[in-house]
Chain A
Amino acid sequence: MSIAAPVHTEKVPPFRNEPFADFSRREEREAFKRALADIHARFPIEAPLLIGGKRVETAEKIDSVSPSDTSLLCGRSASAGEAETDKAVAAARRAFDDWSHTPAEERAGLLLRAAALMRKRSHLFAALEVYEAAKPWREADADVAEAIDFLEFYAREALRLSGRKRLQPYILGEHNDLSYHPLGVAAVIGPWNFPLAIPVGMSSAALVTGNTVILKPAEQTPLVTWLYARILEEAGVPAGVFNFLPGRGEVCGARLVRHPDVQAIVFTGSKEVGLLIQREALAAQQDGLPFVKKVVTEMGGKNALIVDSSADIDAAVPDAIYSAYGFAGQKCSALSRLILLDDIYDVCLKRFQEAAESLRIGPAEDPGTQLPPVIDDEAAAKVNKYIGLGRESARTIYVGDVGSLAEKGHFVPPAIFEVDSSKHRLAQEEIFGPVVAVLRARDFDDALRIANSTPYALTGGVHSRTVSHLERARLDFQCGNLYLNRTITGAIVARQPFGGYRLSGIGAKAGGPDYLKQFMVARAVSENRMRHGSAPLEEHATETWEEF
């Protein structure tokens, strides 16, 4: 098996981030409006399963409705049962041998072609996200740009890590080298909040390193992810190498995790499901599996922003507002705790509250919307439950009013609660909605103590112009991504490799130099080249090992 066009490593230009669309330009706005109309006209979109290169329909369907308007059916996906799941795993397993022996240049070529195809249709993809995931324009556009970045970045990373690397020190008569090899069949389980970028990132990393993939999209957003499957088809992915398997988490997701032929499980989503996957993967181990399942999980966060009195409030307040409410608080990196130092507390809280009160709530397709709805009924109910908890057990600073929008979509109000203890549930539990717990800190040390008091360690931020405070935060703020004097969301591939630790996840940073290695095993080969005192005199290897 071979793909027509391998890339020539030396012809791949250096990585460059995909620029966001400039919506201050009229032609960009009009192009995007056309894309919204275009995708709307295609509703309902049908997304089948893709197994072994064949599209497969199922009797059961999953409806995909717009969170901004639940009467709008964006489309339907097929829903894989256990039988289809097994077939997909079998197809991936069959395709593995050829794919794993396909040169890295060809596998990287597939990603680069997919990136080019996606770039050509970026507005269309983003427009579908606006409807299906209720992502506001800029958020949807950024998600597509990030997906393109992942394809471009991982293609280059795969080329960097490919081949045999001669190991030092060089010893006469002895040849030592190291090379990376794929694991096998990888099950990729995606989230709905970045319905393109994250499934694309996880699955392309697995593909480009020579694994074959079964991608299960989130139940809420199968259509956006289906467009990516279409792109891979168009880019020439061999049958069985990439399988698309929409379905219910408890049915096909659970089956994938336990399946004895699935060697790697890559997941982004909630802490509960992430930990469940860890346990299930371990449980499957008892059946005499010949390998340990590799599990990579990106889970939640309870991310804090600290603002001290040297901060520029004019910048801190909008940054906090955007980080907390940008996508209705539904990014794993979103701000959910605002820690204000005592000497700036009242001023800053008032400005933050007034700014939250001014947010315009509306459907994602309206370019004036600042706070879109949450993804589904369940998410809305969860947010409202925590707002109820806040009203009972914390000081209510502000709870907005969604008015009649609540009847139209999954709209929830923005909310701010003041809590007096870092142990309060509002300051400990991930809500994944537009709810912010505000905490008062005596001094900067106290602020850091509060910030570090949750089991999560994903993102965090400090707004301060005190050099020593920024330095303290670098040393002691427990989070995978620390943001100083800026928003705490919006990581960019390569510039800000993304991911946390503790209960925020296990695995290397996405969009960073270590990510691909998770999908591979390393093999070291040592060859004795001495024959009765004769050894080749080529002991200065040309290739050295680039290590990060």
Chain B
Amino acid sequence: MPSVLTQTKENFESGRRSPVREERLEALTQRIGRALFRRLRSTAPSFWRLEKVEDSFMKLMMRDEDLRFRMLQFVDVFPALGGTRSVSRHLEEYLSSEEMGSGAGHGPLGRIARHFGRDLPGVRNITAATAQLAITRMGNHFIAGHTPEEVAVRIRSMEARGFHFTLDLLGEFVASEAQADEFARRYREMIEKFEDLLGPLPDALADQPHLQAPPRVNLSIKLSSLTSKFDPMDPEGTSAAVRERLRPLVRAAREHGAFINVDMEKYEFRETTLRIMLDLLDEEEFRGFPHFGTVAQAYLWDAEESLRWLLGELAARKQPMTIRLVKGAYWDSEQIWARQKDWPVPVITDKRLTDAMFERCTRILMEAAPLVRTAIASHNVRSVARALALRKMLSHPPEAFEVQMLYGMAGPIKDAVLRSGVPVRIYTPCGELLPGMSYLVRRILENTSNESFLRQRFSEGAAEEKLLASPHEPGPEDFEI
């Protein structure tokens, strides 16, 4: 745990004590949760209707760990392959390696054949074309478009239904200054021109008076895309290099009325990322800039400590900020990295404890209003219901709250939350499939994971009571809430 957190913890002004009683909060959470479930009972999100061929592939991957691994590896290489022949050859290799030992028909291809009710030669012929189609469609499902123009079309229709957006530009890993320049250029172009592409604000949004304050164009950026020298070993140098490219973006955002959210990446980068942001806000020119946001990742063991530290830093500066609370997107990678290095695993590996941490952080965030705007980013009805319950009981200022969800996921939940009168912002990725592949693989990992709320709800039909259960059950390994 970075000592920076403990050292500055005393800065945190935690004077306010909440009057909310736990039992009432839990009862209200359950009530709101059941209401949300009633709203979404009728429809499953398109992704989980399991009709299309890609959905069928997903279903197979959930049943078969070995196949899931092989298919994810194949999905990973897919956009680099040119032409059907190459796709076909690679798929064959990915699915047939080590098949000899397992006996004809029992290898991965055999299992696919059985799943689709075909014989082995038959499945060989159809698999490449099917996989190609499935992956392209999955890409289109999770990535809103290749170009800003394409994405603008999708966003216009989202806005017409009452949703807000934040744009995420997919791109190459930044290994050079030229690539960092290119990212900065694309970010800047979005800040300056994207509103023109969108046209006038639709009525559905104009009707939400409390959301007129934050800008319409909302950009989520990764600081590691702004320098080839992002190295947590050298936070000073990294901060200087990143701010060099960040300053013009924030100036443009100020001028054009856009919002900039600094996304979180891997754990190793967190402290440096927060530091860069605060360094920038300490510069005279940017002091108090209101349209700035960042992310707290609840799946980290030190999530609460880090969040309290950040809130303390913001309070000391009277710096307003929107904080998006997520569980975190690098759960699998963080565990592998840590184990390879024999470092402590920074992420909570118990799903229930992660959910509990999310709810603790929700409350800490919401108690920091109005200086801090809270964005609850989760597809988990229980997590969202808890935040909505707190919002009511804390008399939380409505303009300081929103829910965020990912493009292409949890459609009915988005609708249900929106219809309950809460603003919903959709995290919308834009870019080509090749650089977007790591994003796509993370989404597939998430959707097919045993722990996925969406999988449990829409694919496995888990009971509402189970899905709404409080994660704060006392248990031997539990922590106090």
Contact = CB atoms under 8 A, between A and B. Distances in A.
Given A358-B228, A368-B229, A368-B231, A465 B76 contact: yes
Given A26-B271, A311-B80, A367 B231 contact: yes
B51 interface: no
A314 B172 contact: yes
Given A24-B271, A466-B93, A29 B233 contact: yes
Contacts of B237: 360, 366-368
Contacts of B245: none
Interface stretch (B31-39, B174-182, B466-474): B174-182
Interface in A124-142: 137-138
B342 interface: yes
B175 A321 contact: yes
Contacts, number: 103
Contacts of B2: 24-27
Given A310-B77, A310-B81, A367-B234, A22 B90 contact: no
A355 B176 contact: yes
Interface in A1-60: 16-17, 19-20, 22-27, 29
Interface in B217-264: 228-229, 231-234, 236-238
Nearest to B237: A368
A360 B76 CA distance: 31
Interface in A455-474: 465-468
Contacts of A315: 173
A25 B76 contact: no
B3 interface: yes
B16 interface: no
B233 A310 contact: no
A358 B173 contact: no
B232 A24 contact: yes
Q: Contact residue range for chain B? A: 35 or more
Contacts of A25: 2-3
Given A26-B4, A310-B80, A467 B97 contact: yes
A312 interface: yes
A66 interface: no
Contacts of A426: none
B343 A358 contact: no
B209 interface: no
A71 B343 CA distance: 38
A23 B272 CA distance: 11
Contacts of B420: none
A312 B233 CA distance: 26
A343 B83 CA distance: 13
A358 to B, nearest CB: 4
B147 interface: no
Contacts of B341: 19-20, 22
B382 to A, nearest CB: 33
A318 interface: yes
A309 interface: yes
Nearest to B268: A24
A358 B229 contact: yes
A112 interface: no
Interface in B38-82: 73, 76-77, 80-82
A310 B175 contact: no
Given A19-B342, A26-B271, A468-B93, A370 B76 contact: no
A385 to B, nearest CB: 28
B77 A465 contact: yes
A317 interface: yes
Contact of B179 (A354, A367, A467): A354
A342 interface: no
A238 B234 CA distance: 43
A318 B231 contact: no
B90 A465 contact: yes
Contacts of B4: 26
A314 B343 contact: no
B407 interface: no
Contacts of B81: 310
A357 B90 contact: no
A351 interface: yes
Interface in A436-476: 465-468
B173 A467 contact: no
Interface in B131-188: 172-173, 175-179
A367 B93 CA distance: 43
Given A355-B176, A358-B228, A22 B343 contact: yes
B78 to A, nearest CB: 9
A173 B81 CA distance: 68
Contacts of A343: 82
B233 A358 contact: no
B320 to A, nearest CB: 27
Nearest to A468: B93
9 contacts: A20-B341, A22-B268, A23-B232, A314-B435, A321-B175, A354-B176, A354-B179, A360-B237, A466-B93
Interface of A: 16-17, 19-20, 22-27, 29, 137-138, 309-315, 317-318, 321, 343, 351, 354-355, 357-358, 360, 366-368, 370, 465-468
Given A312-B77, A358-B228, 14 more contacts: A22-B343, A24-B268, A27-B3, A138-B233, A309-B82, A310-B90, A314-B435, A351-B176, A354-B179, A358-B178, A367-B237, A368-B229, A466-B93, A467-B97
Interface pairs A-B: 8 shortest CB-CB: A368-B237, A24-B232, A354-B176, A314-B173, A465-B77, A23-B233, A467-B93, A367-B234
Interface of B: 2-4, 73, 76-77, 80-82, 86, 90, 93-94, 97, 172-173, 175-179, 228-229, 231-234, 236-238, 268-269, 271-272, 341-343, 435, 438
